[in-house]
Structures are given as C-alpha cells and as structure tokens.
Structure 1
Amino acid sequence: MNTKLNKSDWTILSIIFILNTLFGCIDYYKEGNKLIEYLVDFPSSILFTIVIILVFIQRIVPAFLVHKKAYFLFAISSLVLLTFFGTIDNIFGRLSAGSNLNSITNIFTFIQKGLYNATDMVGLPLGILLIKKFYEGQQQLVETQKIQKENELKLLRSQIDPHFLFNNLNTLDSLIDTNPIKAKEYINRLSLIYRYLIKTKDAEVMELANEIEFAKNYIFLIKTRFADDYEFTIEENIALVDKFIPTGSILTLLENVVKHNKTDGTNAIKTTLTINEGWLIITNSKSKTKSTNESFGTGLDNLKARYKLLSDEKIQIHNMDTKFEIFIPIIELSS
C-alpha cells in the first residue's frame, strides 16, 4: 500500500471536513453553543483527525503491518493513538465550553470517551482513504503483473534476438582469423551474458554487484565490436553490498547509449557509469550521427514504469547539448 497521501486523498479529506464542519455548525447552533466553541472545537478536531490519519497510514501501518506483520503491536499502537488524541480533543471541548477539568469525576471513563470520540472523528475519513488505497493497490498489482509478464517476454526474446546474435557472430568470425585468443574470450563473455539473461529472467530486482559484472561483459562485447568508437568508465564510490536495481537496468542504459549515438570516426562516445549513495548515474557524450543498431531489453519507458512500482524515487533524465545523463535510484530492500 502506498503510504503517502496524494492530491486526490487531500481532496477527499477536504470535502469530508467541510461537510462535517457544516453539519457540526448546524448542531452547535441548535444547541446554542458559544462562538468560542465554534472557533476551537472544529479546527482542533480537524487538526487531530489529520494527525491521526498521517501517523496511522505513514507510521503505524508500515512499521507493524507492511514490514513486521506484528498485528498485536499494530492494535495496541492504534488504540493508544486514538485514545491520546481523542482525550486531548475532549479536553479542548470542555475548556471551550467553560467547564473545569476538576469536574472530571472518573478519569477512566473520560479516557474511554476520548477513544470513542477519536473513533467517531477518524472513522469515516480513514475508512474512505483505506478503501481508496486498497483499490489503488489492486490496480497497481494488476499493472505489476502485466509489466512483469511483458518484461519476461522481452527478456526471453532478447536471448534469441537474431540481430544481436548475428552481429556478435560476425564479430566472432573476424576474431577467429585475426585474434583466436580474443575470440575465445569473446565466446566466454557472450555465453556469460546469455546465462545471466536466462538465470535472471524471473527476477524483478538484482544485486547491483551482479548487474555491474554483467555490464562489464556487455561492455567487452561493445568494445570488441566497435573498437575505439566507445569508451566506458565505471566509478564505484560506495560499497555494493545490499544494493539492488531492477534486473537488466544497466543493460537498458548501455543499449540506449549505443542505439542513439554513433561516432563520427574522430571522437569516441565517452560513457561514465557512476555509483553514488542512492543513485546509479550513466553519463554519455552525444553525437549528431544516429546509430542504426537495434536494441534489445526493456527500454527506458518500461524501466520508468518498473521504478514506479519499486521505489518512491523516480528516474531522472537530463538531455543536454553535449551530453545525456540518466539517474536511476538504487533500491535497498527492507528486511
């Protein structure tokens, strides 16, 4: 469940608060309540309701349901939250009505009423929000399944892509005659690439270290095939332990470089892969000559869609005059 309130969530809450305030004012008018009660009771009730909803959705649910499945702690935390703010709201109500807190004869009953009061305040808006979040989660689940299936099909097709295979066989054919030792290395790297694609076809995310090793094999093929047309540098500024990215992400980004940039024969296309805290960045120089190479893999649009389901962070793309830069978030999975 997405634990952040979006624009439509706040719109729904605003409508509920306006209606509740309107009906509440009618009841206060019939009961002859004082002006100070209007000015204190309704704003405080709205404020406490918002606080309860935010704490419940953004703190309690992720902490005890999403990650730990601690249902008992979830129930206790929810009751404490409701009781605390409901009691505070009751205190505000008594003070605005001119009642003295010393007149409270039974603290237990007063606190119990606070729980009932908070339940009454939060019940409708929180219920509507949770139903909305559930519906959005179901839509997201369907979209996830659809995208995952598309990814599997594209990755399977990439393993037998005739253009990819044909180009590499041509390169291999020339190496066998000119450089047999390098030809053996080329065959080894090519087999590692296909083995990796087959092994990871069902994995949504993969360890960054594995993706980097895969990228090195793919870069070897590019460098062998195109000689000095492309230059690659990998800068690892952080440890790669417990860091993940969507499977095939680096492949997609490297393909994007080769697909959209072809050297003019004078200046090589320089690409730097930088791993910083939280981000993997690929920066490449741009050429005006377009490559005719066909790419295989998921594509940038598909990678963006996968990230919407895996991370709160979004892919950042900076298309400048002389260089093209893509930031993809590094994912740290919760235990």
Structure 2
Amino acid sequence: MNTKLNKSDWTLLAIIYGVTIFLNIIDYYREGNYLIEYIVDFPLYIIISLSLILFFLHILIPKFLVYKKDYLRFFMYTIAILTLGGSIDNFIGHLTAGKDITKISSIILFLQNGLYNASDMIGLPIGILLVKKLYEGKTELLEVEKKQKENELKLLRSQIDPHFLFNNLNTLDSLIDTQPIKAKEYINRLSLIYRYLIKTKDAEVMELSNEIEFAKNYIFLIKTRFGDDYEFTIKENITLKDKFIPTGAIQALLENVVKHNKSDGISAIKTTITINKGWLIITNSKSKIKSTNESFGTGLDNLKARYKLLSDEKIQIHNMDAKFEVFIPIITLSE
C-alpha cells in the first residue's frame, strides 16, 4: 500500500480539519474559553495531529508494518509517540486556559490523558486515509493486473510477429547470395533470439546479463538489416551479477529507437546502452525523418505498467531536442 499523501488526501484532510475545528469552536464558545485558547489551541491541534499522521504514514507504518512486519515494536512506538504528542497538546492547553500546571496530581494520569487525547486527534483522519489508500491500492492493483495480462499477450504476439519474421527472412534472402558467411551468422543469431524468446516467455524478470546478450544478438540483426544507419554502444559500468530487469525490456526500447528514428543516409542514429548503479539508460540521437517500421515490442506505456508490479521506482523519460533518453530501474532481487 502506498502511504504517501497525494492531492486528494490533502483535500480530504483539509475537509476533516475544517469540520473538526468548526465543531470545536462551537464548544469553546459555549464554555466561554479565552481568546488565547482560540488563537493557540486550534493551530497547535493541526500541527500536532498532522505531524503524527505524517510520522505514521511515512515512517512507522512503512518501516515496521510494510517491510519488517514487526508488530510489537510498531505497537510500542505507537503508544510512546501518541503519549508524547497528546501530552504536549494537553500541557499547552493547560497554559492557554490559565491552569496551574504545578497542580497536576499525577504524572501517570497526565500521560494517560495525553495518550487518549492523541488517539482522538488522529484516529478519525488517519482511519479515513488508510481506508482510502486501501481502496485506491486495490483498484490500482486490479488495473495493473489487467494491463499486465494485456502486456503478456502483446509480448507473446511480438515474439511470433509475422512482420518481424518476414523482415528477417528478406534480409537473410539477400545475404545468402551475396554474403553466405554472414548469412550463416545471421541464421545463428536469429535462432538464438527465438530460442531466448521461447525460453523466457513466462518469466516476469530476467538476469541483466542474459538480456544484454540478447540485446547484442538483436543489435546484430538491426545492423545487418540497416547497415550503417544505426550505431550501438554498450557501457557496463557495474557488475551485472544479481541484477534483473523485466523480460524483453531492452528489446522494447531498441525497437522504439528504430521505430521512431530513420537515418538520413549521412548521419547514423547513435544509441548508447549505459548500465549504472540502479539504472539502465538507453540514449539515442533523434532524427527528423520518421520511420514507417512496425513496432514489435510492448512499448514504453506497457513497460511502465509492468514496473508498477515489479519496483517502487518509475521509468524516467527525457525527450530532448537532439536526443531521447529512457531510464529504467535495475531490480536487485537479493536485497
């Protein structure tokens, strides 16, 4: 469950605080409270309540419930934090009401009242927020699962796409008579690609080293078909061991380059695959000539949807005047 507050969450909190303060103003008026209590108590209530809610949503719940599932420590920290926050609010409330704090009869009772006060302060808003988050999370999960099924179907279709096979057979046909040695290499690379696609068709993620080897074979097909129209460079700045990415991700990104960029015959479309800590980056120069080639991959939108199930990180896309850049997160399963 995503515990970060979005725009609608803040709007909901504003409504809750607005209604709560309005009702408290009525109670203060009936009880004849001092003006200083209006000025201090209500802002203080919002500050403490909101601070507790944010602390729970951003620190306590993710750390002790989502990741560690340490319920005992979560309970202990909850009691301590609520007692502290509620006691501070009670203490300042005593001062603004003009009460003598030296006449507090029991510290234990004072802290107990602080716990009750804080529970009352954040119980309703955090309860509503968590229910909202739970509903949104389930809705989003259903949508992502639906897209995932669509992506799997598109990926499977891309692996046996007749256009892909037709184009490669045409290239192979032209090589057989003119460059028979290269034709044999082309057949070998093409068979490795299809073997890999069949082997990995049910895998959510694959080792980055395997995907890079697949990319090298795939680049060979592109270079053979288009000649000097495209240039590719692979920079491995980290070890690829225990690193994973979604199956077919590099294929989709390379297809995206070929689909949207066509060389003018003078300057090649230069593409660099850079592997850094945490990210695989594909950068390509842009062409003003639009290619009419078919796209055989899942596409950037489908790749974004797949990452929603696999990682907390999101794909980054930078579309600049002279180049196009895509950052995809590297998944480390051993962490």
- Superposed pair shares fold, TM > 0.5: yes
What does residue 6 of structure 2 align with?
A: 6
Alignment map for 1:271-282 (pairs within 5 Å):
271-282=271-282
**Post-superposition offset of 1:236:** 2.5
Is 1:125 the equivalent of 2:125?
yes
* Count of aligned pairs between the two proteins: 334
Equivalent position amino acid for 2:148 in 1? Q
Secondary structure at the aligned position of 1:221 is classed as helix
What does residue 311 of structure 1 align with?
A: 312
Q: Distance in 2 between matches of 1:94 and 1:244?
A: 58
What does residue 15 of structure 2 align with?
A: 15
What does residue 255 of structure 2 align with?
A: 255
8 Å CA contact retained: 2:45, 2:89: yes
**Identical aligned pairs, as a percentage?**
70
**Post-superposition offset of 1:232:** 0.4
8 Å CA contact retained: 1:278, 1:330: yes
Q: Distance in 1 between matches of 2:333 and 2:91?
A: 43
Equivalent position amino acid for 2:103 in 1? S
8 Å CA contact retained: 1:269, 1:287: yes
Equivalent position amino acid for 2:183 in 1? A
Alignment map for 1:287-306 (pairs within 5 Å):
287-306=287-306
**Post-superposition offset of 1:68:** 1.8
**Post-superposition offset of 1:277:** 4.0
- CA, structure 1 residues 334+121, in 2 after alignment: closer, same or farther (shift >3 Å)? farther
8 Å CA contact retained: 1:196, 1:214: yes
1:171-222: CA deviations, max 9, x gaps? 2334344444433433332233223333433444444333322222211111
What does residue 26 of structure 1 align with?
A: 26
**Which ranges in structure 2 are unaligned for 5 or more consecutive residues?**
none
Q: Distance in 2 between matches of 1:16 and 1:232?
A: 56
1:122-156: CA deviations, max 9, x gaps? 01100110011011101111011111101110111
Q: Distance in 1 between matches of 2:189 and 2:74?
A: 51
Q: Distance in 1 between matches of 2:50 and 2:124?
A: 12
1:29-82: CA deviations, max 9, x gaps? 111111222222211111111111111111111112222222222222222222
8 Å CA contact retained: 1:307, 1:315: no
- TM-score, normalised by the number of residues in structure 2: 0.91
The farther-off stretch of 183-192 and 120-129 is 183-192
The farther-off stretch of 276-285 and 110-119 is 276-285
- CA, structure 1 residues 303+84, in 2 after alignment: closer, same or farther (shift >3 Å)? same
Q: Distance in 1 between matches of 2:196 and 2:78?
A: 46
Equivalent position amino acid for 2:31 in 1? E
Q: Which runs of 4+ in 1 moved over 6 A?
A: none
Q: Distance in 2 between matches of 1:43 and 1:242?
A: 51
- CA, structure 1 residues 150+95, in 2 after alignment: closer, same or farther (shift >3 Å)? same
Alignment map for 1:128-207 (pairs within 5 Å):
128-207=128-207
RMSD (CA atoms): 2.2
- TM-score, normalised by the number of residues in structure 1: 0.91
8 Å CA contact retained: 1:208, 1:240: yes
